[in-house]
Amino acid sequence: MNIAFFTENYFPMVSGVSISIKLFKDALEEEGHKVYIFAPSYGKLKDACLDEKRVIRLPAIPLKIHQTPIVLPATSWKQFLPPRLGIDIIHVHHPFFLGRVGLFWARVLRVPIVYTFHTLYEAYVHYAPLKKEFAIAFLKRYVKKFANQVDLIIAPSFSVKEHLRERGIRKPIKVIPTGIKWRDFQGSGSRSDSEKLLLFVGRIGQEKNIPLLLRVLCKVRDLGWKAVFVGDGPERVRLVRELGELGLGGRVFFEGILPQDELKKLYQRAYLFIFSSLTETQGLVLIEAMASGLPVVALKAIGVSDFIHSGYTGFLAEDEDDFASKLRLLLLDEELRRKMSHAARNWAKLWDISLMASELIYTYESLKESFTPPTRLRAIEAFNFL
């Protein structure tokens, strides 16, 4: 099959979405399919540093909000025409600018369109210069409208599927999480039981709820541990400044974004993985951590609870005090941590990318077989977004 991915962000921007797209692209192409990625340009120098095979860059205007550029509408509608690529199926990863472009071309080419719901957008309204209540209401309505215009929706977890049904989305929904290359996380790094390194990986933004983790660490400061936060974002400077006030200076470190090889080594060194986000649709780093043999302590939340087998591969905490209690238990009980480490590593095999890609291929093929091509006049749906 020739598959077209449309995405509002891709490398060099590092995000869960860009990592997911790259993982699926590589896995699908290993099975003999061709995947074309339509993505914004981040500038010639940045784009030139990447593997750009079958990546079509669209001119875009830089935007400070969440580091996502806006693709210029004229170029995205008229330039790089998909008809010459013989596209069999279109898969969009956002409902906004390029999602609309993908919808337009799917109806013109009379091929199926799939949409992966990667993001709980209303959890990010603090980045938009709009009144919060208005922004949330608009996003809920807009995403519902777009989702009901496509042919199939991919949800990364069952809790997200339930969330979408509650929002009034009536189109078919298939649950296919993003997988990982499990073997890539089976390193031989040395894990020191005496160091007890706690690890967080993710964007350092308001939506990740990191102040809760710092408060939890204050509650277990009597134990021996160090904590490393990997990632970058608008909250990093403020949180680093607060470490001294909290008495966590010299024990908590914000390392910024690390290259994948360094991150994998850090996974191998770490003792436990901690996670506090309430805005995930999946949380790919949770699977990476478990594949590396790290038990996870995380807040119980949508998109997180689907992947942590509480009491077996780690713990799901109900609140801040419960989080501190469960973290304390694992820091003190080495035998329990080792059992959970072994269980977590095996549990993560369920989400190997080869298995997830096979499921996605089967979904594409099933959709193509049952698809009734609509009239090309349906292309005007792409302009109907309210």
Domain definitions of the chain by residue range: 2-179+353-383, 182-350
Angle at 256 between CA 320 and CA 238, to 5 degrees: 55
Confidence at residue 226, expressed as pLDDT on a 0 to 100 scale:
97
Structure tokens that stand for 51 in this block = 């593997």
CA–CA dist 260, 55 (Å, integer): 21
Closest CA to 200 of 323, 311, 53: 323
> How high is the pLDDT of residue 58?
86
| Of 190, 235, 206, 216, residue with least CA distance to 330 | 216
Question: Going by DSSP bridges, is the β-strand pair 89-92/2-6 parallel, antiparallel, or unpaired?
Answer: parallel
Q: Which two tokens stand for residue 109?
A: 């080419």
Q: Which tokens is 20 given?
A: 């997911």
CATH of 182-350, one of 1.10.3210.10, 3.40.630.40, 3.40.50.300, 3.40.50.2000: 3.40.50.2000
- Distance in angstroms (rounded) separating the CA atoms of residues 163 and 61: 33
Residue 32, both tokens: 């003999």
Is residue 289 within 8 Å of 264, Cβ to Cβ? no
How do residues 36-92 score in pLDDT, each as one tens digit? 999 998 876 454 556 688 998 888 887 655 556 777 655 554 555 566 789 999 999
The reply to whether domains 2-179+353-383 and 182-350 share a CATH topology is yes
Whole-number Å distance between alpha carbons of 318 and 187: 32
The CA distance from 187 to 198, in Å, is 18
pLDDT < 50: residue spans in the chain: 45, 47, 77
CA distance 263 to 268: 9
Q: How many residues comprise the chain?
A: 386
Q: Residue 170 CA to chain centroid, in angstroms? A: 23
- Measured distance CA(20)–CA(93) in Å, rounded: 10
Distance CA 306, CA 169 (A): 21
Instruction: Evaluate whether 99 touches 118 at the Cβ level (below 8 Å).
Output: no
**Among the listed residues 71, 64, 65, 72, the one whose alpha carbon sits nearest the alpha carbon of residue 135:** 65
CA–CA distance, 135 with 128 (Å, rounded to integer): 8
Question: Rounded to an integer, what distance in angstroms lies between the CA atom of residue 129 and that of residue 24?
Answer: 33
Please tell me the class of the 2-179+353-383 domain: alpha beta
CA distance 37 to 53: 9
Classify residue 343 by its DSSP letter: H
What's residue 65's pLDDT? 56
pLDDT at 180: 97
124-131: long-range pairs with CB below 8 Å, 24+: 124/66, 124/207, 124/279, 126/206, 126/207, 127/65, 127/66, 128/65, 129/65
The number of helix segments (H) and strand segments (E) in the chain equals 13, 15
